[in-house]
Amino acid sequence: MRLLITGGAGFIGSHLAELCIREKAEVWIIDDLSTGSLDNIQSLLPHPNFHFVKGTVLDREAMVTLVGTCDIVLHLAAAVGVKLVIDQPLESMHTNIFGTELTLELADKFRKKVFITSTSEIYGCNDKVPLSEDDYRIYGSTTIARWSYAGSKAMDEFLALAYAKVKGLPVVIARLFNTVGPRQTGRYGMVIPRFVRQALQGEPITVYGDGRQTRSFTYVGDVVRAIFALIQEPKAVGEIFNIGGDHEITIADLAQRVKRLTGSASKIRLVPYEEAYEQGFEDMRRRVPNTGKIKSLIDFQNRLSIDEILCRVIDSERQSLGRTPTSAAHEAAAN
Ligand code: UDP
């Protein structure tokens, strides 16, 4: 099987590429290294079945060659993280909308199956629990930059579904709910790498808002296993799936756990949203996936508890800070 992973040097893309190589696929990735990095794919670079192209998904010529070469396109390249999207709205929307449109257009030209990575942001501030794939999307005003991300990813889904309907293109769409694990960077705002790094460096752990908002974190290893299974499942074609964690947790509780598992003396500091993001910022209060649909089709499981996930992130952050990973975090998790 020959697979093209767009955004393959990113956090999720690189884990997916590793899995595909382990599963004996031949893998091409295209990544402009804007938020991805060579470090993420260092161990893959020497592999004979792994091919890296530095470039953007907006580069038609490069994409024509790559899409033409592969059997399936896994489209992960996107602007990631609420903070990045607020700071660079134009570039983010451009990548998310035109990058996906070009990917779909070329997949159709060469008649290739496409996997489109979407997001739980799609649901906006619908805080229904749990969220099912056909639930309403509720967004705030266009003057609030965060909604541009949800809007652009929704447009990706509309485009993919339209290609499926009008051209018969085989597409599979998955909405990822707060995927976490080693290699995720806190640079673009993601909460777990930020908390872990703050705790390890003895800085205040910055909980935004009142900390009572919740999320359901999924381990990246479980997410990429689910993606790999979905692209091989004929019944997944034309469908949308939630991929997310089973355990809902408040951000305040998350901060406490990170503090305990790292043994940190950091203080937990509440930061108003306006200070953290921008004036008028709107957050989702709860975000819990209904994963019944994916579980009825493939063997999707959340194999790690939140503490086990945190321990893996803590060990990997310790390593990147040049500290020896210890079993202390694992011992603390067991207690
Ligand atoms: N968050 C926080 N402190 C941080 C970064 C994020 O309290 O340093 C909060 C953020 O406001 C949100 C939650 O953690 O309520 C998850 O944020 P993230 O950006 O990781 O994901 P998303 O908002 O897309 O769910």
Closest ligand 1 atom to residue 287 Cα is 25
Round to whole Å and give the CA distance between 125 and 90. 22
Please write the tens of the pLDDT for every residue from 36-73. 999 999 999 999 999 999 999 999 999 999 999 999 99
Handedness of CA 16, 22, 24, 30 (dihedral sign): positive
- How far, in Å, from the CA of 112 to the mean position of ligand 1? 36
**117 near 79, Cβ under 8 Å?**
no
Place of tokens 């893309």: 13
Residues identified as active-site: 149
* Residue having the nearest C-alpha atom to atom 3 of ligand 1: 207
Distance 24 CA to ligand 1 centre (A): 36
Which region among 79-88, 267-276, 279-288 has the lowest average model confidence (pLDDT)?
79-88
- The model's pTM is 0.95
Ligand 1 binding site (Cβ under 6 Å of any ligand atom): 82, 178, 189-191, 194, 206-208, 213, 215, 251, 283
Please list the alpha-helical segments (H only) found in 206-250: 220-232
- Label residue 332 by pLDDT band (50, 70, 90): very low
CB count within 10 Å of CB 93 equals 17
Measuring from atom 21 of ligand 1, which residue has the nearest CA?
A: 190
Mean pLDDT taken over the chain: 94
C-alpha 190 to ligand 1 mean position (Å):
6
Can you tell me which atom of ligand 1 is nearest the CA of 198?
Answer: 8
Among residues 108, 118, 131, the alpha carbon closest in space to that of 157 is found at 118
In ligand 1, the atom with minimum distance to the C-alpha of 283 is 15
**Full set of structural domains in the chain with CATH:** 2-181+217-243 (3.40.50.720), 191-214+247-287+303-334 (3.90.25.10)
- Distance from Cα 92 to the centre of ligand 1, integer Å: 18
146-171 tens-digit pLDDT: 899 999 999 999 999 999 999 999 99
φ, ψ of residue 191 to 5 degrees: the values are -70, -45
